Structure 1
Amino acid sequence: MHVKVALLADYSNVSREGKLNILGIFDTIYAPTFPTTHPHMQLVIRFEGGPEEAGTTRQLEIQFQAQDGAVLFRLPGTLAVQRGEVGELVRADHILTLNNVTFEHPGRYAFQIVLDGRAEATVPLRVEQIPARH
C-alpha cells in the first residue's frame, strides 16, 4: 500500500457509490492571538495498492509534529484492506476528524502518515498570526 492522496480539508466523506468527496482543502490556519483552537478539520488519506494487498491488515499511525520534530500526539490503529475485483488495484479511504485542536504558538506543523513503521507521507500545516491592525 502507498499513499495516493493526503491533505487537510474542512469536510470530506465517501459516498454510497464509493466517491471520495472533499470540500475546503487548506494548508494554512490564520489566528489573531495565541494560543488558538481550530474548531474542526479532517485529515483525508487515500491508500492504494496492488491486488496482492486485498484482504490484508496494515499497521497505521498518524503523528502530529511541531516544527522542531516533537510529536504532539500520535494515533495508532490498523488499516483493513478490503477485497476488490480480481487483478485490480485496491483503494482504502481514511478520514480522520480532528476537533478543537489547540496551537500554543504560530509555526509549521505536520501530520506524518506511518504505515507498517515506515513514513509514507507528510501533510504540512502552517499556523500563522494575523497581523494586528492599527
Structure 2
Amino acid sequence: MEIVLATLADCANTSNDGKLNLMGLFDTIYAATVPVTHPSMQLVLRIRAEPAEIDRQHELEIRCMDADGGELFKVKGGFSVRAAPGRAATFNHVVGINQLTFEKFGGHTFSVFINRDLKQTLELELAKAEAPAQPAAD
C-alpha cells in the first residue's frame, strides 16, 4: 500500500462518483494561549493498493504526538479494498478529528500506519498568535 496524498483540511469529502473534495488545507494552527481545543479538522488520505492487496483485510492506525512524544490520541480500524481482478485501486479515506486539545506550542505529528508499517507522517505546528498592535495613546 502507498499513501499518495496525506493532508489536514478544514473540510473534506468524497463525492458519489469518487472525487475527493478538499477545502482549507493547513499545516499550522495559531493560538493565543494553551491549552487550546481545535473544534474540527479532517485528516485526508488517498491510498493506492496493488492487485495483491485487494480483497483482504488491512489495519489502519493513526497516532497524534506532540514534540516531546506525548500522545494526544490514537485510533485503529480495519478496511478492505475492492477492485477488478488484477487491477490496482486508489481510494480516499477521510478521518474527522473533533475537539482535539493541544497542551503545548510547537510541532505535532500525525503518523499513519497500514498493517503496522509506517506509511506517512504529517507535521502540524501549533504557533503562538501575535497579539494585535495596540493603538498609540494620545
Range of TM-score over shorter length: over 0.9
Q: Deviations over 1:73-125 (max 9, x none)?
A: 1101112112x233332123111101111111211001000111111100110
Structure 1 residue runs of 5 or longer lacking an equivalent are none
Structure 2 equivalent of residue 63 of structure 1: 63
Q: Determine whether 1:72 maps to 2:39.
A: no
Native 8 Å contact 2:49 2:81 kept in 1: no
- 1:21 to partner: Cα distance: 0.8
Query: Does the alignment pair 1:44 with 2:31?
Result: no
1:129 maps to which residue?
128
Alpha-carbon distance in structure 1 between the residues aligned to 2:70 and 2:91:
29
Is 1:95 the counterpart of 2:89 in the alignment? Answer: no
Aligned 8 A contact 1:64 1:110 in 2: yes
Q: Who is 1:22 aligned against?
A: 22
What TM-score do you get using the length of structure 1 for normalisation? 0.93
Q: Amino acid of the residue matched to residue 96 of structure 1?
A: V
Which ranges of structure 2 fall in alignment gaps of 5 or more residues? none
Alignment match, 1:107:
106
Query: What is the deviation of 1:35?
Result: 1.2
- Rg larger in 1 or in 2? 2
Aligned twin of 2:9: 9
State whether residues 53 and 90 of structure 1, in contact with CA within 8 Å, keep that contact through their aligned partners in structure 2.
no
Q: What is the TM-score normalised by the length of structure 2?
A: 0.90
> Identity over the aligned pairs, expressed in percent?
38
Aligned length: 133
Structure 2 letter corresponding to 1:72: L
Equivalent residue letter for 1:103 = F
| Preserved CA contact (<8 Å) 2:10 2:42 | yes
